[in-house]
Amino acid sequence: MITETINIPEDLAALKENTIITQRYKYQSYELADSVYNIALRGVLINLSVIIVILLNTLSTARAECEHAKQLYEKAIAPGVKLDEKIAILNQSLDDCKGFAAFFELGKALVQRGDPKKEDLENGIERLKVSIAFTVDKKEQASAYHRIALIYKEYYNKSDDAIRYYKTSLRLFHNVQVEQELMELEKQGANALIPSETIASTLIISLKDKAFAVVPSIDLRVYLITTRPKS
């Protein structure tokens, strides 16, 4: 029996050893990459969990604040509450949570107090305008515009400004009482002349109120003077 011994070249053995080492490094690299990925994924999940917890806490706090604001609002509009106390409570309510009802009632209360030194009328109108931004209900928006129209009519005696807000209110929501008030106001001013400064003032206010979608309105009455021809 003849036995043949085959000697592997040294360079081939070295190549084999290098291949094994390379594969080992690749495997270790894959393990390292997988570990880094898992660590990063766990970090993302942890951060996401933290964000969710923060959001839930924020929502819970906001809900609690709005609930407290609602309680303050109901306390403010309860019978027997003095006007100054009502205004103070409504302001506290709005500090916790802003909404249409509180702004609307605050605007009414400020106008009712009507202290010129505290600029209650201007502040009342401003609160009523702000209330409109906190509701999408057309009836509520119309109520705020109607209230502003009453202020211009009864406190400022500015018929043209009042008419603008009356018309805006009716455009949003038809109300027979508001319509009758507008007709009566227009009837009273049917024979009145409009000074040029009133026209300019109305146009300026219309531009200021454009953001609140107020209908620009001014009635220009034209009088024709005729003479009979001489015979």
In a domain, 198, yes or no: yes
pLDDT in tens, 76-112: 999 999 999 999 999 999 999 999 999 999 999 999 9
In a domain, 5, yes or no: no
In a domain, 125, yes or no: yes
Q: Out of 43-47, 73-77, 180-184, which region has the weakest mean confidence (pLDDT)?
A: 43-47
In a domain, 179, yes or no: yes
Contact 122, 91 (CB under 8 A): no
Structure-model confidence comparison of residues 45 and 79, the more confident one: 79
- With CA atoms as reference, report the closest residue to 140 among 102, 184, 87, 182: 102
In a domain, 52, yes or no: no
Indicate the number of domains in the chain.
Answer: 1
Terminal CA-to-CA distance of the chain, rounded, Å?
A: 161
In a domain, 10, yes or no: no
In a domain, 12, yes or no: no
Average pLDDT, the chain: 78
pLDDT in tens, 184-223: 999 987 665 555 555 555 555 555 565 555 665 555 444 4
Q: Please tell me the distance from the alpha carbon of residue 98 to that of residue 131, in angstroms, as a whole number.
A: 9
Rounded (10°) angle between helices 10-76 and 83-96: 170
Q: Which residue range is the domain that position 82 belongs to?
A: 66-212
Residue 153: give its domain's CATH number.
1.25.40.10
Bin 31: left if φ > 0, else alpha if -120 < ψ < 50, else beta.
Answer: alpha
Prediction pTM value: 0.63
- What is the mean pLDDT of the segment spanning 159-179? 97
- With CA atoms as reference, report the closest residue to 163 among 215, 200, 213: 215
In a domain, 15, yes or no: no
pLDDT at 189: 76
